[in-house]
Amino acid sequence: MTTPLAVLLALALAAVVTAAVLNRATRRIATEAERLVPRTGRVTPVAGGEIHWRAEGEGPTILCIHGLAGNLRDFTYALAPRLAAEGFRVVSLDRPGCGWSERPGEEAARLPRQAAMIAEFMEAEGLSPAVVVGHSLGGAVALTLALEHPERVAALALVAPLTAPMPDAPTVFKGLEVRTRRLREILAQTLAVPIAKRTGQATLRAVFAPEPPPEDFLVRGGGAFALRPKGFRCASEDLVAAGEGLPALAPRWATLNVPGGILYGEADAILDPESQGRAAAERIPGFTLETLPERGHMLPITAPEETAAFVARLARAAG
């Protein structure tokens, strides 16, 4: 007769074996992701970490900050070369903890801490003041940078930005809502990466909707880089930190004294153009809102010409 203890031991053994198999698959997928998306830029040390970045072009500086689960290739894919051709020096960075950048832990995911690390990087590389482009979650980081370190920001060009607290995370990012460090790490090392690989195309379609994702986005756009434990961990920390930090920060946007504007796709399926775009433009002094019909959330990739024109106009107006 099988005893309860024997059943428990068998279940425990099965769990250990399953976790080992998943961890081995995770390491294999992550190794391939890093091969597909190698480090291609420079690295600048900052307190508690380092910033990986790339620059192209010559002229006044435009600094680009990407969104949730992204990396600097969101900009180098198409937007940065266009702005460089317009006579700007375009610096695209991996946000602290993302891509090839590093941060000391989940506390550094908080918006003011990310902004402080980016401000330190800008000072080290002589990039201030710069026109700061913030896409999606990068918009909230850019706003915080302008709020906490105004001397670093000449103007803000916010592209489909997160600007206000949301009652719920977008459906496609629900799996990132993990609020305990231990559970987040367990998932990062076992389930998260294999599941992300299996559902990757569906996720991309949801993020780019209603436009199709480019066929080369996984490599040229760096999409494969999300398929690492670090990618899951960073995105989860970012999502939770933004949800906790925005309620206190968003009311302060009205005190900003920096020129800028907001660009949104009218068909954005991730963030609402009205509550995140128009409401912010009306609240921030001097800001304007521009919209693109039938465009979605990933404007730096799907509408690079219109996005470049928007950023260049703001940059020139800022002198």
Domain count, the chain: 1
pTM for this structure? 0.95
Q: Residue 147: which of 216, 250, 51 has the closest Cα?
A: 250
Domain membership of residue 4 (yes or no) is no
Q: Residue 110: which of 235, 251, 238 has the closest Cα?
A: 238
Domain membership of residue 2 (yes or no) is no
Q: Which residues of 284-301 are buried (b: 16+ CB within 10 A; e: fewer)?
A: beebebeebeebbbbbbb
pLDDT tens digits along 149-159: 999 999 999 99
Domain membership of residue 18 (yes or no) is no
pLDDT at res. 16: 60
pLDDT at res. 1: 47
pLDDT at res. 27: 93
Domain membership of residue 33 (yes or no) is no
Domain membership of residue 234 (yes or no) is yes
pLDDT at res. 4: 72
Which CATH number does the domain housing residue 243 bear? 3.40.50.1820
Domain membership of residue 31 (yes or no) is no
Domain membership of residue 150 (yes or no) is yes
Residues of the chain with pLDDT under 70: 1-2, 5-17
Contact (Cβ atoms closer than 8 angstroms) between residue 270 and residue 162: no
* Beta strands at 49-56 and 42-46: parallel, antiparallel or unpaired: antiparallel
Domain span including residue 114: 39-317
pLDDT at res. 13: 55
Cα–Cα dist 145/72, whole Å: 18
